[in-house]
Chains A and B, each alone.
Chain A
Amino acid sequence: MRKQLQEHIARLQAAGALYVDARWYPVEENNDLMMWNGNLKEASASRESGVGVRVLYKGAWGFSAASDLSNLGALFDKAFDNARVAAERVTFPVRLAEKDAIQASFKSPNQIDPFTVPLADKLAFMQAMDAKLNQPGVFQRICQLTFTRKQIVFMDSEGSEIEKTIVEVFPSIRVAGLDAQGQMHSRTFEPPRMGDTRGWETLDMDVFSANAERIVREMNEVLVADNCPQDVRSVILLPGIMFLQTHETIGHALELDRILGYELAFAGGSFVRLSDFGTLRYGSEKLTARADATIPNSPGSFGYDDDGIPAQNNLLIDKGLLVGAITGRQMVEEANARANKIIFEGSSGANRATSFYRVPIERMTNINIDPGDDGTLDDIVRNTERGIILDGDKSWSIGSNREQFHFATDIGWLVEDGQVTRVVKNSTYQGETVPFYNSLSAVGNASTWEVCYVSNCGKGQPNQIMQLGHGVPVCRFDNVRIGE
Chain B
Amino acid sequence: MKEQILDTLRDLRAYALKKGVEASFLYHEEDSYLMRFANSAISLNTNERLIRLEITAYKDRQRASYGLITALGKTDEMQHGVDIAAEMVQHAQPLSYQPTIPLYTESFSDESAYDPALATLSNQERLRFFNRVAAGLETDAIQLSGIFACGANTLAQINTRAEHTQYFKTSDAQISIVLSHTALKWEVSAEQSAQQKADLDPDVLRRDLAFLVEHYRHDTPQQLPLGTYDVVFGPSAIADLLNFMGFIGYNGGLMKRGYSFLKEDQVNQRIMSPQFTLTDDPTRRETFPFRRDMMGMPRQPFPLFANGVFKGFVWSQDEADEFGAQPTGHTVPHTSIVMQGGDAAASTLEELVALPRENDVLYIPYLHYMNIVNPSKGLITGSSRFGALLLKQDDSVAVPYNVRLTQSLLDIFGDKVAWLSQAQVIVNTSSSYGARNPRAIIVPALMQVNGLEISHSNSSY
The one of A46, A140, A266, A458 that contacts B257, using a Cβ cutoff of 8 Å: A140
A67 and B456: CB pair below 8 A?
A: no
Instruction: Evaluate contact between B383 and A92: CB separation under 8 angstroms.
Output: no
Instruction: With both chains docked as a complex, state the minimum distance between the C-beta of B275 and any C-beta of chain A, in angstroms.
Output: 27
Taken together as a complex, chains A and B put the C-alpha atoms of A262 and B146 apart, in Å, by: 10
Number of A-B contacts (CB under 8 A): 246
* Main SS at interface, chain B: strand
Binding stretch for chain B, among A375-383, A392-400, A447-455:
A392-400
Let me know if A60 and B41 touch, CB within 8 A: yes
Asked whether, in the complex, the Cβ of A61 is within 8 Å of the Cβ of B38, the reply is: no
Is the C-beta of A342 less than 8 angstroms from some C-beta in chain B? Answer: no
Interface check B153, CB cutoff 8 A? no
B433-A85 in contact (CB<8A): no
CA distance A428 to B178 in the complex (A): 32
Contacts A85-B127, A399-B458 hold; do A264 and B376 have CB atoms under 8 A apart?
Answer: no
Q: Which residue of A lies closest to B69 (CB)?
A: A48
B368 within 8 A of A: yes
- Distance in Å: Cβ of A379 to nearest Cβ of chain B: 32
List A residues 421-472 near B (Cβ within 8 Å): 426, 428, 430, 432, 458, 461-465
User: Is the CB of B219 closer than 8 A to any CB of chain A?
Assistant: no
Residues of B within 8 A of A41 (CB): 318
Does A88 belong to the interface (CB within 8 Å)?
yes
A45: Cβ under 8 A from any B Cβ = yes
* Complex alpha-carbon distance, A261 and B461, angstroms: 14
Q: Give, as a whole number of angstroms, the nearest-CB distance from A356 to chain B.
A: 9
Within 8 A of A (CB), among B365-404: 368-377, 381-383, 385, 402, 404
Report the separation of the CA atoms of residues A50 and B431 in the bound assembly, to the nearest whole angstrom.
22
Q: Are A426 and B84 touching (Cβ within 8 A)?
A: no
> Which one of A175-183, A288-296, A366-374 contacts B?
A175-183
- 20 A–B pairs (Cβ distance < 8 Å), ordered by A: A38-B96, A43-B92, A45-B88, A47-B68, A47-B69, A61-B44, A63-B45, A86-B43, A92-B39, A262-B43, A269-B180, A395-B371, A397-B370, A398-B383, A400-B187, A400-B385, A403-B460, A461-B34, A462-B48, A465-B433
Q: Does B105 contact A (CB under 8 A)?
A: no
Are A85 and B47 in touch, CB under 8 angstroms?
no
Known A61-B44, A89-B127, A261-B143; contact A39-B70, beta-carbon cutoff 8 A: no
CB A426 to nearest CB in B, in angstroms, measures: 6
B279 contacts chain A at the CB level, 8 A cutoff: no
Known contacts A265-B178, A268-B368, A461-B432: A66-B48 contact under CB 8 Å: yes
B145 on the A face (CB < 8 A): yes
Q: Knowing that A64-B46, A397-B371 are A-B contacts, what are 17 other residue pairs whose CB atoms are under 8 Å apart, sorted by A's residue number?
A: A47-B67, A47-B69, A61-B44, A68-B51, A68-B72, A82-B45, A90-B41, A91-B40, A176-B258, A178-B258, A262-B39, A262-B43, A264-B38, A265-B37, A397-B369, A404-B383, A430-B404
> B160-187: which have CB < 8 Å to A?
176-178, 180, 182, 185, 187
Q: Are B48 and A400 in contact (CB under 8 A)?
A: no
Quick check: is A203 within 8 A (CB to CB) of the other chain? no
Q: Tell me, yes or no, whether B147 is within 8 Å of chain A by CB.
A: yes
Which residue numbers of A lie inside 8 Å of B, CB to CB? Answer: 35-36, 38-41, 43-50, 60-68, 70, 78, 81-83, 85-92, 118-120, 123, 127, 139-140, 176, 178, 181-184, 260-266, 268-269, 271, 357, 359, 394-401, 403-404, 406, 408, 426, 428, 430, 432, 458, 461-465, 484
Contacts of B40 in A (CB 8 A): 89, 91
Which DSSP category, helix, strand, loop or mixed, fits chain A's interface? Answer: mixed
Minimum distance in angstroms from A452 CB to a CB of chain B? 19
Closest to A124 in B: B93
Distance, CA A62 to CA B33, complexed state (A): 11
State whether A89 and B42 are in contact (beta carbons under 8 Å apart), knowing that A45-B88, A264-B145 are contacts in the complex.
yes
B455 contacts the other chain (Cβ, under 8 Å)? yes
B95 CB within 8 Å of chain A:
yes
B145 touches A462 (CB 8 A): no
Q: Tell me whether A401 and B185 are in contact (CB under 8 A).
A: yes
Are B36 and A461 within 8 A (Cβ)? yes
Say yes or no for B91: interface residue by CB 8 A criterion: yes
Binding site for A on B (CB under 8 A): 32, 34-51, 63-72, 81, 84, 88-89, 91-93, 95-97, 123-124, 127, 131, 143, 145-147, 149, 176-178, 180, 182, 185, 187, 257-259, 263, 318, 322, 368-377, 381-383, 385, 402, 404, 406, 431-433, 455-456, 458-461
Is A462 in contact with B84, judged by CB distance below 8 angstroms?
A: no
Bound-state Cα–Cα, A369 to B431, Å: 32
Q: Tell me how far the C-beta of A191 lies from the nearest C-beta in chain B, rounded to whole angstroms.
A: 23
Cα distance A26–B461 when bound, in Å? 45
Contact status A359-B44, CB under 8 Å? yes
CB distance from B174 to the nearest CB of A (A): 10
Q: Report chain A residues within 8 Å CB of B383.
A: 397-400, 404
Q: Which 3 A-B pairs have the closest CB atoms?
A: A48-B69, A68-B71, A46-B67
**Which residue on chain B has the smallest CB distance to residue A428?**
B373
Complex CA distance for A266 and B43, rounded to whole angstroms: 14
* Interchain CA distance A182-B84 in the complex, whole Å: 43
B369 to nearest A CB, angstroms? 5
Q: Are A118 and B374 in contact (CB under 8 A)?
A: no
